[in-house]
Amino acid sequence: MERPAWAPHGIDLSVPSVSRMYDFYLGGSHNFEADRAAAREAIEAFPGLPKIMQANRAFMRRAVRFAISRGVTQFLDIGSGIPTFGNVHETALAASADARVLYVDNDPVAVAHSRAVLADEERAEVLAADFRDPLGIVGGETTRRFLDLDRPVALLLVAVLHFFDDEAKPREHVATLRDALPPGSLLVVSHAATESLPGTRERGKRLSEVYRRGGATLVMRTRDEVAAFFEGFELFEPGVVPLPDWRPEVPVAEEDPVAYAGYAGVGRRA
C-alpha cells in the first residue's frame, strides 16, 4: 500500500483509526482505505451516521462560542482528531482574538496533520498524549507552557468518552482532569447514545460491533450515565440533552431525527 506523504512512518495503514473514520464521515481526505472501509461498514450498520457527526460538530462550535461568552478563552481539546474545517481553534479565534487552543490526540496521523495545519498559528498547539494518562496531559511541559492553569480552561471531551468502557475508568480520568483545573473551568461533553430514538438500540449494537472488529471500543450510555461525568461540575441549562437541543442557534424543528442519537452538555467547576 502506498504511503501518502502526510502519513507518519511507523503506523499500520491497514488498521482503521476512530479519528480517521471521523474525518471520513465529515468529508475529509486524511484517511486510508482501511478507515474508509470500516466507516462505510459503520454507516451500513447505522444509517445516517455522518449526520450525527455533523450534529456533534455543530454542538462543539456552539459550546466553544458559549465558553467564550462566559469569559473562558482557553481550550483543552482531548481526543481532538484531525482538525477539519470549522474546528475548535477556528471557531474560538473567530469569537475572541485572545483564545488559545491545545489539541490532544494519540493518533500519529491526527497529531502530524494537526501540526501541519497549525504551523503558522501561534494561538493553537498540538500535544501527542492519551486521555488515559490525564496527569501526563495536565502536568506536561507543553500544557504548562501553552495554557495558564491558574485561569479557567474549557475541557473538551467531544465524541471521546464513548470509546472507553467502564473498565478503562473514564469517570476517574475526567475527575483527575477536573481536579487539575481551576474553579470556573468548563467541561464540554458529547457522547453516543441510542436510548432517545425508537428502533436505534439494535443499530447501536451493530455499530459497536463494527468498531470492535476494528480494534476499538464503542459504548452507548444513557442520559444518566453521561450526566455522571459532570460530577463536581454545575450543569448549565438545558442540562444533558440530545445534541441538537443544546442551546440551538437556529430552530431544530427540521432536524433529521438521527441527529438525536447522542447526548451533550456543558458544566462549570465551582
Look up the CATH number of the domain holding residue 232: 3.40.50.150
Q: Is residue 9 part of a domain?
A: no
Res 83: pLDDT: 77
In tens digits, what is the pLDDT along the chain, a chain of 270 residues?
A: 556 665 666 667 788 888 889 889 888 888 889 999 999 999 999 988 889 999 999 999 999 999 999 999 999 999 998 877 779 999 999 999 999 999 999 988 889 888 888 989 999 999 999 999 999 999 999 999 999 999 999 999 999 999 999 999 999 999 999 999 999 999 999 999 988 766 677 888 899 999 999 888 999 999 999 999 999 999 999 999 999 999 998 766 566 788 888 999 999 998
Q: Are 177 and 155 in contact (CB under 8 A)?
A: yes
3-state secondary structure of 161: helix
Residue 175 domain flag: yes
Q: Is residue 10 part of a domain?
A: no
pTM above 0.85, yes or no: yes
What pLDDT score was predicted for residue 10? 63
pLDDT in the model for residue 98: 96
Partners of residue 165 on adjacent β-strands: none
Spatial distance between the Cα atoms of 23 and 236, rounded to a whole number of angstroms: 29
> Is residue 204 within 8 Å of 194, Cβ to Cβ?
yes
Range of the domain at 117: 18-244+255-269
Look at residue 13 and tell me if it is in a domain: no
Question: Which residues are CB-contacts of 199 (< 8 A; sequence separation ≥ 6)?
Answer: none
Task: Decide if 119 is inside a domain.
Answer: yes
Position 30 scores a pLDDT of 80
CB distance 184 to 268 below 8 Å: yes
Q: Give pLDDT, residue 2.
A: 59
Amino acid 193: pLDDT: 92
- What is the pLDDT, as a whole number, of residue 107? 87
The whole-number pLDDT of residue 122 equals 95
50, 71 Cβ separation under 8 angstroms: no
C-alpha cell at 40: 462505510
Residue among 36, 44, 2, 1 at smallest CA distance from 16: 36
Closest CA to 103 of 160, 151, 33, 171: 160
**Number of independent structural domains in the chain:** 1
* In-domain check, residue 185: yes
Query: Which residue from 263, 269, 267, 245 is spatially nearest to 66, judged by alpha carbons?
Result: 267
Which pLDDT score, from 0 to 100, does residue 130 have? 97
pLDDT of residue 8: 65
Q: Does residue 11 lie in a domain region?
A: no
Which residues have a Cβ under 8 Å from the Cβ of 19 and sit 6 or more positions away?
A: 79, 81, 82, 105, 107, 109, 110
Q: Is 8 among the domain residues?
A: no
